[in-house]
Chains A and B, each alone.
Chain A
Amino acid sequence: MSEIAFNRRTLLRSAGGAALLLGSGALAACGPGGGNNVNSVETNSKIVLPRYIPYTGVTPDFPATEAGIDPAFRNYPKQLARSVTEIPAKGGSLVGLSNIYLPAPPTPDANSWWAGLNKRLGADLNMQMVPAADYTQKFATTIAGNELPDMIQIPSTPNLPDLLAKRFARLDDHLSGDAIKDYPNLANIQSAQWKQTIFNGGIYGIPIPRSRVQFYSFIRQDLFEKYGVSPEPKGRDELLETAKALTDPKERRWAFGSWEHLRLYLLAQNEAPNGWHEEGGKLTNVYETEQYKQTINDIADFWKAGVVHPDSFSATLQPKALFNSGTIAINAVDGMTAWSQYVTDNASNPNFKLGVMPIYTRDGRSLAPWQLGSGMYSFTGLKKQDDPNKIKTILRVLNWLAAPFGTEEYTYAKFGQEGVDHTVSADGVLSLTKQGITNTTLPIRYLADAPITLYQPGRPGDADTQYTYQKKIMAKTIANPTVGLYSNTAATKNVGADKAMVDGVKEIIQGRKPMSSLDELIKKWRTDAGDAMRGEYEQQLQTAGTK
């Protein structure tokens, strides 16, 4: 197989398009079920993506952009638009399986919000909820048991294309191209996300969209002010100086917390590729670049300078808590949604001032290109059903759950009933009540969800701050060329190989191993998984190039 792939690549370079047809023919012949069952980009690129039709019922103060900047609202809309006109289902019950990060809510008999949701959906929605840390095991047993729930959150898993083909419904007839018009809230999800749900030449799920910005570099603005350092350190040297100024072990304060977050920050600063670098269909992994070595060198310098929390390598380190307490002044890279969490966590702390920091290139001359995220949390697969109408019903339900920010449906899904689950203040801020907090934790957002929106209750200025920051850092971006491709090695062997690599790097940073051993680690990673991944991705990329 690998030999064929190799031939195909050489042919491709020399003879172009004509050879490609031959090559992909040979490839398809390798697959077990012929054409349609093969997960090649050749077949995948034939599929017409669902058309992107942005929702216009609610107008944000700042619009979303194609490049991936999230729309922002200063205030919650006063007039709630309706995005769904009909009740999606006509009775019966539906079962969903997903992970959960919050305590499970009471069941509908003791939960007016859930009962109300069922009424709005027109069906009894039962959820099997699994603490996120245990999800893959539950998923594996559920798949093995072969009695699938109707809607399932699909995690990264071995042989995904094959698994999807065997157990899950193809949705292209319902969603491809203009067919998506039947589900306008799903049409509000961008192509970047839909692309990642395509396997075996078909659409196999509903993406759960997330921000492509994905990270912010959070800082404690109050500490920066206190020590008189600029919140925009330009380049590596200024960053280190800033970090030194902020660090004081006697006061139990360090500039950085998790070394992993620092690594991501410095990778961007060193303009490393976003995961992989692609040139003419050839891939180079970030590990194999000079920028990566430079980054490891830099972290080692920062570690030696003592500006990183001394327990940084501990698995029990809690960067968020350390940031809240001011033990670390910079949370170099944290999910952008943490903005809201930091604001609410510190509502009663008058000293706390949240800021965000851009990333400059190493020499400090310009802003570093921003490493784009995949923009997707996971996707929801639908169990194979005998009756296509059942699929339609489920899709209508998911369409309801994906209702965009500021609509009537979104408001109910996130905030419940006014006066019961939430209250509305004079200036239009929605606050969940105690009952609302408990009742609304049902993890429907992992079955279908609206695109991310920037909105901070009661702090209209935050919309401006976040949007400005996003616009600034996203001026230049780099994407990961392998997003939307599937590598079985990445889902299997690489998990362990990457861990071994990372563990070795940690030792280098702490000075227990020489910098020169990095090459050894990379070589090991390449033989264990890296080269195989590269092969799998390149094979798909080269066929994709001709789309």
Chain B
Amino acid sequence: MAIDVEARPAVADLIGARGRRRTGQRFSRDKLLVVLGLPGAIVLILFHYVPLLGNIIAFQDFQPYTGITESPFIGLDNFRFLWNGDTSFLRALTNTLILTLIQTVFVFPVPLALALLLSSLAGERLKRLLQSILYLPHFLSWVIVVAIFQQMLGNAGMLNTFLVQNDLPSFHIIGVPELFMTLLTSQAIWKDAGWGTIIFLAAISQIDQEQYEASAVDGANAWQRLWYITLPSLKGIFILLLILRLGNSLSVGFEQIILQQGLVGLETSEVLDTWVYNKGIIGGDWGMSAAVGLVKSIVGILMVMGANKLAHKFGEQGVYQK
């Protein structure tokens, strides 16, 4: 019997497709799928993995005018920041981890909350209008976002001008090291929370309406519907996004931070991306920049693998299967 296993994964699992079927058979079965998917895969490999070979410069004293073939190999010298106890690196690493933690806890879930709030509104028009407004800040570049915060909340901004002109004590928010992480977090929420709702709203729209109708008939209230239908349906995509976010743990808003670094000093504001920028990139140290990139990638892989495993433990799909 020629079972189209591709369309019937449940059956495929039962008969152990991987074990018994030979590669050739699986190929002829799935060739249409492969044909559909291959163009994208080829382009991705060509434009991503081929230039990735260039990361070999992490082991070189690379200069653009000598090129990869002629630049001398210098072993692991570009990675020496890992073990030479450079305090500025350790400080950048610590700040990065703190910021990642804060952002994962406080920034990452906001779009989900906002999406739930929006989707609970009755009027379709109102919903769309609000959504259109909330996603606007995403389109501002960081320079503009930083400038706007400065204009509104800066020491000579709209708020403080008002306070000073009315003989009230002024209110220093920007340029205060203790508030720097809070400032970064609020800016990140302001800029991207609305935009982040889009994926969740799409996921909500895919929830089978029959489930809601059936539960309403059974007398479930709004909370129960949220708890037993909506949230479980969003769990998969939420965990997926979370794992991907964790893979990028060591990247925290480079542009946003570099623009505001001068205000609060390096102690509070130096993160890994700004550190490598200040230490390597602006000085044209290509090799070291590539080395830091590689280290970040490896950490990212470990994070994704760990998080994915954890997800499996809890019976979730994660990003990929075992």
Contact = CB atoms under 8 A, between A and B. Distances in A.
A and B touch in the complex (CB under 8 A): yes
Interface of A: 136, 140-141, 143-144, 146, 157-159, 162-163, 166-167, 249-250, 252, 309-311, 313-316, 327, 491-496, 499-500, 502-504, 506-507, 510, 512-513
A316 B146 contact: yes
Given A309-B156, A495-B283, A496-B282, A144 B161 contact: no
Interface in B165-200: 165, 174-175, 177
A163 B161 contact: no
B175 to A, nearest CB: 6
A167 B63 CA distance: 13
Nearest to A494: B283
Interface in B131-154: 143, 146-147, 150, 154
Contact of B265 (A157, A250, A512): A512
Of the candidates A136, A158, A496, A510, the one having the most CB atoms from chain B within 10 angstroms of its own CB is: A496
A315 B154 contact: no
Contact of A506 (B150, B155, B260, B265): B265
Interface in B209-267: 259-263, 265-267
B288 to A, nearest CB: 11
A413 B298 CA distance: 54
B278 interface: yes
Contacts of B157: 311
B63 A512 contact: no
B67 A503 contact: no
Given A249-B164, A310-B154, A144 B65 contact: yes
Nearest to A318: B147
Contacts of B261: 315, 503
Contacts of A144: 64-65, 67
Interface string B275-305: 0001110111100000000000000000000
Given A249-B164, A314-B150, A507-B265, A499 B278 contact: yes
Contacts of B146: 315-316
A56 to B, nearest CB: 41
A491 B285 CA distance: 10
A316 B147 contact: yes
B283 A143 contact: no
Contacts of A313: 175, 262-263
Contacts of A158: 63, 283-285
B283 A250 contact: no
A157 B67 contact: no
Given A311-B156, A512-B265, 19 more contacts: A140-B64, A140-B284, A141-B64, A144-B67, A146-B67, A159-B65, A163-B65, A167-B65, A311-B154, A311-B157, A313-B175, A314-B174, A314-B175, A315-B260, A492-B285, A495-B282, A496-B280, A496-B283, A510-B175
A313 B88 CA distance: 22
Interface SS, B side = helix
15 contacts: A162-B65, A249-B156, A249-B164, A250-B165, A310-B160, A311-B154, A314-B262, A315-B260, A316-B147, A492-B285, A496-B278, A496-B283, A499-B278, A504-B266, A513-B265
Contact of A315 (B160, B161, B259, B285): B259
B262 A512 contact: no
A166 B63 CA distance: 12
A320 to B, nearest CB: 15
A503 B284 contact: no
Interface of B: 63-67, 88, 143, 146-147, 150, 154-157, 160-161, 164-165, 174-175, 177, 259-263, 265-267, 278-280, 282-285
Q: Sorted from nearest, which 9 A-B pairs have the closest CB atoms?
A: A310-B155, A144-B64, A158-B284, A492-B283, A496-B278, A316-B147, A507-B265, A143-B64, A495-B282
B120 to A, nearest CB: 38
A506 B285 CA distance: 26
A428 to B, nearest CB: 42
Contacts of B174: 311, 314
Contacts of A146: 67
B91 to A, nearest CB: 11
Nearest to A157: B284
A503 B265 CA distance: 5
Nearest to B144: A316
Contacts of A250: 164-165
B156 A500 contact: no
A250 B88 CA distance: 41
Task: Determine which residue in A311, A313, A314 has the highest number of CB atoms from chain B within 10 A of its CB, and name it.
Answer: A314
B262 A310 contact: no
A314 B65 contact: no
A506 B264 CA distance: 9
A503 B266 contact: yes
Contacts of B265: 503-504, 506-507, 512-513
Contacts of B282: 495-496, 499
B213 to A, nearest CB: 52
B150 A311 contact: yes
B284 A252 contact: no
A252 to B, nearest CB: 6
A315 B65 contact: no
Contacts of A510: 175
Contacts of A140: 64, 284
A77 B165 CA distance: 52
Contacts of A310: 154-156, 160
A492 B266 contact: no
Contact of B262 (A327, A506, A513): A506
B168 to A, nearest CB: 12
B154 A496 contact: no
A500 B266 contact: yes
Contacts of A166: 65-66
Contacts of B285: 158, 492
A314 B151 CA distance: 11
Contacts of B260: 314-315
Nearest to A252: B161
A503 B257 CA distance: 14
Contacts of B147: 316
A500 B265 CA distance: 9
B143 A316 contact: yes
Contacts of B88: 500
A510 B284 CA distance: 31
A252 B65 contact: no
B283 A493 contact: yes
